[in-house]
Amino acid sequence: MTTPSSDVLMSFEDAIATFDPVMGLEVHVELNTLTKMFCGCPTEFGAAPNTQVCPVCLGLPGALPVVNQKAVESAIRIGLALGCSIAPWSRFARKNYFYPDMPKDFQTSQYDEPIAFNGALDIVVETDDGPQSITLGIERAHMEEDTGKISHLGGATGRIHGADYSLIDYNRAGVPLIEIVTKPIEVEPALAPAVARAYVTELRELIVALGVSDAHMHQGSMRVDANLSLKPRGRAEFGTRTETKNVNSIRSVERAVRFEIQRQAVVLSSGGTIVQETRHFHENDGSTTSGRVKEEAEDYRYFPEPDLTPVAPDEAWVESLRATLPESPLLRRARIREEWGLSEHEMQSLINAGALDLVEQTVALGADPADARKWWTGEIARISNERGLDVAVLPITPADVHRIIVLTSDGALNDKLARQVIEGVLAGEGGPDEVVASRGLAVVSDDGALLEAIDAALAAQPDVADKIRDGKVQAAGAIVGAVMKATAGKADAARVRELILRRVSGA
Amino acid sequence: MSDLTRLDASETAAAVAAGEVTAREVAGAHLDRIEQTDEAVHAFVHVDRELTLAAADAVDAARASGGPLGPLAGVPLALKDVFTMRGAPTTCGSKILDGWRPPYDATVVERLRDAGVVVLGKTNMDEFAMGSSTENSAYGVTHNPWNLERIPGGSSGGSSAAVAARQAPLAIGTDTGGSIRQPAAVTGIVGVKPTYGAVSRYGLVAFSSSLDQGGPFARSVLDAALLHEVMAGHDPRDATSIDAPVPPVAAAARGELGGVDGLKVGVVTQLQGEGYQPGVQARFDEVVQLLTSLGADVVEVSCPSFDYALPAYYLIAPSECSSNLARFDGMRYGLRAGDDGKNGVEQVMAITRAEGFGPEVKRRIMLGTYALSAGYYDAYYGQAQKVRTLIRRDFEAAYRDVDVLLSPTTPTVAFPIGERADDPVAMYKADLATLPSSLYGGPAMSLPAGLGDDDLPVGVQLMAAVQRDEQVYRVGAALESALQERWGGPLLDRIPELATGGAA
Amino acid sequence: MPALDRDDVAHLARLSRLQLTDAERDHYGEQLDVILAAVARVAEVAADDVPPTTHAVPVVNVTRPDVVVPCLSREDVLSGAPAAEDDRFRVPRILDEEEQ
Ligand SMILES: [Mg+2]
Ligand SMILES: [Zn+2]
């Protein structure tokens, strides 16, 4: 097996100077239905092993599947949100192959008759010339079931190679999945990695807006397989593709595509050939390594699932589901950008920080958009980066941030104190008011105490007082700093400056 | 009561309801009969006296407390070992499931329990229901009570033998291509394949999902109808279960829908003549004459696509079975072989399946795998499903003109054990006449038509349109009573007495 | 259709996860040839414009509500397991990789 470090890569710039990358992205989304695709077992994440299992999802002899109505509705809603046609008649098929995490040794999926097909998704990519809007084609979205979870034991811990044996928990077996497949993506070569990232970001937002999945990539409720091939510039036919799996974050999608472009480029330009195979992405160094070589096209012997009836949504049903679609994330962003008066760039950094929803909710509580943005994409985003967590999962709510904004604009807090309040809230010390009270963080609003500190500072720096008297008002900053220091940052700087000027002018 | 094993199910149920006999006594008499005769017949693969008597006691207790009793309360039944039942093993005649005790009940088993039917045990079968002779079982061969050297039919041969041997008045089988009707025919009893979807398949270990159908065995048409009504009905756990009222089969069997006078009966050209034994053809011709004499209007009907039923069936059923049987891989239940710590999972699966499956199952799995392969799907599986449409059209055209169709059930009487064991194609011909209605999905019944070659039973098959199950019972009951009048009693009265051994 | 040679049977056996000896391969190859020759007759019926039939009673949209029903107890789940450890099914090492 080739180790990541032994792979020689071509520089990205050289690679895209010679080759045109062609991508295909397959995204599996675990639906948040209460029950599994074909049985009534709960789908909750994290239950004790093999406690959410019944004869159906354990594939016991004699058990039969029955389709979850809600899963079909979610599939149709996803299809509609992606602008797909909804098949008036679609079917489940069996995809036959043996694998121990699959209780029936076939996956019930959809094959040539998917529920949704032929759609499109608009994405926005940052380029050197500013944001660029690109439309990607959606080949299909279909329903299928998830597999159980395998843990490899013995040998090199956790790795399939060298493991002595494996243990299987079938709780996840049968959880409904929607697989969304793009049409081949051919964009400006330099943009390919960013396009992959933007697609997954946009799709994830859409899924979340639809409320059909948590779409947590780190928990595996949204999983991305990236297919990539290169063709020499000017050639029409596609090259051999690889399929990179295990891509567990949005950032990794971009890295994986970039890596494969560089790796395939060096293989091809040194006269080698690309092997059709699955590859595995490694978070630590952003590399991919060879998985299973597909010596021959796997023969899945698909045939219509005889235990299930066709799914044939009539127009009325489809239209009633269409009526439940939320505003598309793209339109919503355009609306918000206009309402808040943001530049495209400001909007993009808001999205990149994963804070759009949170800011919107904070604004909905009455906060000024600028203030809300300042805190979510500033101090809170900084901490989330530090901790390597999404902003959304930090234990601070839009209501907390709104309260902090109110306290700040009332003058009860200054920015420095507000940052301490955020820190306290994140440390689990309670809501903003509780943190203010317990940490004693109120701004010193007693002019007498401030004047005392000002007098002391002016006395210590008589030359500064003279400068101010001479009209060099900006020199007051040094006194403000001294006062802030003396009050341990609890003073309102604006008020201090005002008092200094008054004092010096003798008013 | 003198001999409880000679009573019909309806008589037994009436006697239990009237308090003339307890369910425990009835069950005990049948358990004794099994003990005495099953060494020779080998109909059962699992009998649990305690469990059976406990079920009988529950019926007696319900009666004692004045609770409502089902129409078959207290009647014993032999269950084909292809249905799951808690408290008993389910093997499907396969070594690969040796010792497996399912943690859940089939819907059919739930319904039996609710109806107060007492399950005596599980009956032998061709492995995973693949076969027509019950020779393909990992648990031994079942013998025909009419002649122990002969096959009892298959795949539900344990169930048919149990009823013919008076080990049980009722039995349940499954029919994928004829596995109820053919065993019924060769053992001289009544067997019915209901309309596909009438009886829930939940808990029926699948052979061919689009064809499998559970159904009753009995010694009379009425008994079969009573059991049919207990078994059938919509089940939300089976997506292919029919969500409509069960046709009035018991009323039809009692003659309440009328006899055959004025009914139109079609004789299928393609299902007689060449390939049918003289004795089979003779009994069949007599039935046709009898129906005419009863006032039926018998006409000849041609169904040309029926000639393709055999090849279509032997593509569809193996294809589905190759997928249905994939799960027997030694990972979650049943046999695991070759797990020596060195072999990887793929090898362990392959060794397990090689050891666990018999030759017929392997043959069909490979045949089905081939038929579904890329490049062959359209020519084989796809084309077979189209043939199915042509067969359906033939049936639909026929039922525009006639009420039921008629044919011999099997081309021959029970053949000698071992005769076709290594000739799959010859074996497959046992199902020639039963396959068309399996592919179509309509109801079909086999009932005794007399004795043919070698003094062995011959069956006649009645077929009706989808969801018109009452039609086969109506005609079947009329025919049964006319035939028994002619014979001076049930055909089964002529079965040679079995030597009884074991403890009495 | 061409006759099945030993390699064809080996391929089918591998797809089906059936370990066969050479003798078995030959034996099944011969039998499958005979059966395939018999069933290939379905191709005689020209059926270009004929739709396939999958079920006796064609129904669509048979679904169940998204309502939780009780699961099996873990004891029941693992009761048939040839090997179990840590409340999970223990299976032999997996040499190749294949994920969905
Ligand atoms: Mg898939
Ligand atoms: Zn389940």
Q: Which of B10, B179, B305, B407 is catalytic?
A: B179
Task: Tell me the one-letter amino acid at A174.
Answer: G
Enter the DSSP assignment of A84.
P
Task: Look at B329 and A61 and tell me if their CB atoms are within 8 Å.
Answer: no
Q: Is B210 on the interface with C (CB under 8 A)?
A: yes
Q: Is C75 on the interface with A (CB under 8 A)?
A: no
Question: Quick one: residue A326, left, alpha or beta (phi over 0 = left, psi -120 to 50 = alpha)?
Answer: beta
Q: What span, in angstroms and rounded, lies between the C-alpha atoms of B50 and B31?
A: 10
Q: What span, in angstroms and rounded, lies between the C-alpha atoms of A230 and B3?
A: 83
Is residue C88 a part of any domain in this protein? no
Give the best residue of A53, A307, A308, A311 to mutate against chain B (max B CB count within 10 A): A307
Rounded distance from Cα C85 to ligand 2 centre (Å): 21
Q: At B405, which CATH number?
A: 3.90.1300.10
- Cα four-point dihedral sign B212, B102, B331, A56: positive
Residue B160 a catalytic site member: no
Question: Does the structure show a pLDDT above 90 at A167?
Answer: yes
| pLDDT score recorded for residue C63 | 98
Chain A residue with Cα closest to B348: A100
Per-block average pLDDT, block size 10, for chain B (504 residues)? Answer: 89 96 98 97 98 97 92 97 97 97 98 97 98 96 98 98 98 98 98 98 98 98 98 98 98 97 96 90 97 97 96 96 98 97 95 97 96 90 95 98 97 95 82 96 98 97 98 98 97 93 50
Task: Look at B441 and C57 and tell me if their CB atoms are within 8 Å.
Answer: yes
Chain B CB contacts of A94 below 8 Å:
323
Q: What is the pLDDT of residues A33-82, one digit of tens each?
A: 999 999 999 999 999 999 999 999 999 999 999 999 999 999 999 999 99
Q: How does the average pLDDT of chain A come out, rounded?
A: 90
- pTM tops 0.80, yes or no: yes
Is residue C94 a part of any domain in this protein? no
For the ranges A365-374, A439-448, B186-195, the lowest mean pLDDT is seen at A439-448
Residue range(s) defining the domain that contains residue B125 = 4-305+389-494
Chain B CB contacts of A58 below 8 Å:
332
Q: Which of B10, B80, B160, B319 is catalytic?
A: B80
Rounded distance from Cα B236 to ligand 2 centre (Å): 15
Task: Look at C97 and A168 and tell me if their CB atoms are within 8 Å.
Answer: no
For the ranges A334-338, A444-448, B381-385, C30-34, the lowest mean pLDDT is seen at A444-448
Give the best residue of B94, B202, B238, B331 to mutate against chain A (max A CB count within 10 A): B331
Q: What span, in angstroms and rounded, lies between the C-alpha atoms of B139 and B156?
A: 14
Phi, psi for residue A375 in degrees, rounded to 5: -75, -45
Rounded distance from Cα A40 to ligand 2 centre (Å): 6
Residue range(s) defining the domain that contains residue C11 = 6-45
| pLDDT score recorded for residue A28 | 97
Q: Can you list the residues of chain C whose pLDDT is less than 70?
A: 1-2, 96-100
| pLDDT score recorded for residue B502 | 52
Shortest alpha-carbon distance between residue A229 and chain C (Å):
20
Is residue B171 a part of any domain in this protein? yes
Is residue C63 a part of any domain in this protein? no
Contact of B63 with B19, CB cutoff 8 Å: yes
Chain A CB contacts of B236 below 8 Å:
66
Chain B CB contacts of C52 below 8 Å:
382, 385-386, 388-389
Chain C residue with Cα closest to B316: C54
Task: Look at A100 and B329 and tell me if their CB atoms are within 8 Å.
Answer: yes
| pLDDT score recorded for residue A308 | 97
Q: Is A303 on the interface with C (CB under 8 A)?
A: no
| pLDDT score recorded for residue B240 | 98
* CATH class label, A447-505: mainly alpha
| pLDDT score recorded for residue B232 | 98
Shortest alpha-carbon distance between residue A192 and chain C (Å):
24
pLDDT band at residue A3 using 50, 70 and 90 as cut-offs: very low
- Cα four-point dihedral sign B123, B128, B133, B135: negative
Is residue C58 a part of any domain in this protein? no
Question: Quick one: residue A341, left, alpha or beta (phi over 0 = left, psi -120 to 50 = alpha)?
Answer: left
Q: Which of A384, A375, A383 is nearest to A417 (CA)?
A: A375
Give the best residue of B321, B363, B383, B468 to mutate against chain C (max C CB count within 10 A): B383
* DSSP states along B15-51: HHHTTSS-HHHHHHHHHHHHHHHHHHH--EEEE-HHH
Residue among B84, B203, B349 whose CB faces A98 most closely: B349
Is residue C1 a part of any domain in this protein? no
Is residue B499 a part of any domain in this protein? no
Rounded distance from Cα A144 to ligand 1 centre (Å): 7
| Residue ranges of E strands in C10-98 | 63-64, 84-85, 88-92
Q: Is C97 on the interface with A (CB under 8 A)?
A: yes
Is residue B237 a part of any domain in this protein? yes
List, by residue range, all CATH 1.10.10.410 domains of chain A.
447-505
Length of chain A: 507
Phi, psi for residue B132 in degrees, rounded to 5: -130, 20
Residue among A62, A94, A166 whose CB faces B323 most closely: A94
Shortest alpha-carbon distance between residue A104 and chain B (Å):
5
Task: Tell me the one-letter amino acid at A101.
Answer: D
Q: Is A98 on the interface with B (CB under 8 A)?
A: yes
| pLDDT score recorded for residue A295 | 57
Q: At C24, which CATH number?
A: 1.10.20
Residue B305 a catalytic site member: no
pLDDT band at residue A376 using 50, 70 and 90 as cut-offs: very high
Is residue C75 a part of any domain in this protein? no
Q: What span, in angstroms and rounded, lies between the C-alpha atoms of B42 and B65?
A: 38
Report the number of distinct structural domains present in chain B: 1
Chain A CB contacts of C100 below 8 Å:
28, 102, 107, 147
A neighbours by CB contacts (3+ pairs under 8 Å):
B, C
Ligand nearest to the CA of A93: 1
How much is the ipTM here? 0.96
Q: How many cross-chain Cβ pairs, A to C, lie less than 8 Å apart?
A: 132
Residue among B100, B320, B326 whose CB faces A306 most closely: B320
Report the number of distinct structural domains present in chain C: 1
Is residue B501 a part of any domain in this protein? no
Is residue C59 a part of any domain in this protein? no
Residue B179 a catalytic site member: yes
Chain C CB contacts of B336 below 8 Å:
82-83
Is residue C84 a part of any domain in this protein? no
